[in-house]
Chains A and B, each alone.
Chain A
Amino acid sequence: DAKTTQPPSMDCAEGRAANLPCNHSTISGNEYVYWYRQIHSQGPQYIIHGLKNNETNEMASLIITEDRKSSTLILPHATLRDTAVYYCIVRFTNAGKSTFGDGTTLTVKP
């Protein structure tokens, strides 16, 4: 799996959009981008994933650049409950090894 790079921390005002970037410049053509988040010490929770097209679900939107070397997770209206560590990972089909990295700690402030 390709390596990902994320900023260690970000702040966001409550009610505003939170845009979390992820760099995956060595991504290959059939690697998917996955996002998870971990609140406190709970088990990580899946948010969204995509290959090349932008994706949206009830939790977030995922924007993948045309060259696929980076992506942005967008939480459209951040709430205090969105304060968490967000992990961006890339996953090759049939890849057993899974590397999460250190993620981005997002703090949503009132």
Chain B
Amino acid sequence: EAQVTQNPRYLITVTGKKLTVTCSQNMNHEYMSWYRQDPGLGLRQIYYSMNVEVTDKGDVPEGYKVSRKEKRNFPLILESPSPNQTSLYFCASSLKAGGSTDTQYFGPGTRLTVL
């Protein structure tokens, strides 16, 4: 089954404790992206990756890192989480970025709480 998986689905952590949220897709998609969603706000893009080893900042990249060493995986790293990073996080992938092949498939979300 074609899907995007995220782990963990729920995480409660403390300020400053490094964490990684994993994202994996099984559709051989080139484009992957991370979004955060806060109450009353839409989806805001954190980072995206056009292909392996190609990543760039979205609209809200501060406090986050990403890597794309393999096509299927796109982990989101919070080196020193802070309470303002408490949010619902979504990973998405599409065949290619933009244009007619940009149908984005989203993961189920990771609900992160930083105390």
Contact = CB atoms under 8 A, between A and B. Distances in A.
A100 B35 contact: yes
Interface residues of B, number: 32
A90 to B, nearest CB: 9
Interface stretch (B13-21, B39-47, B72-80): B39-47
B28 interface: no
B99 A87 contact: no
Interface in B28-52: 31, 33, 35, 37, 41-45, 48, 50
Contacts, number: 83
Nearest to B106: A43
B98 A49 contact: no
Nearest to B111: A41
Nearest to A45: B106
Contacts of B48: 96-98
Interface residues on A, range: 20 to 34
A99 B45 contact: yes
Interface in A42-57: 42-46, 49, 51
Interface of A: 1, 30, 32, 34, 36, 41-46, 49, 51, 87, 91-103
23 contacts: A1-B98, A30-B99, A34-B102, A34-B103, A36-B104, A41-B88, A41-B111, A44-B104, A45-B106, A46-B105, A49-B100, A49-B102, A49-B103, A87-B42, A91-B97, A93-B98, A94-B50, A94-B98, A96-B31, A97-B45, A97-B58, A100-B42, A102-B41
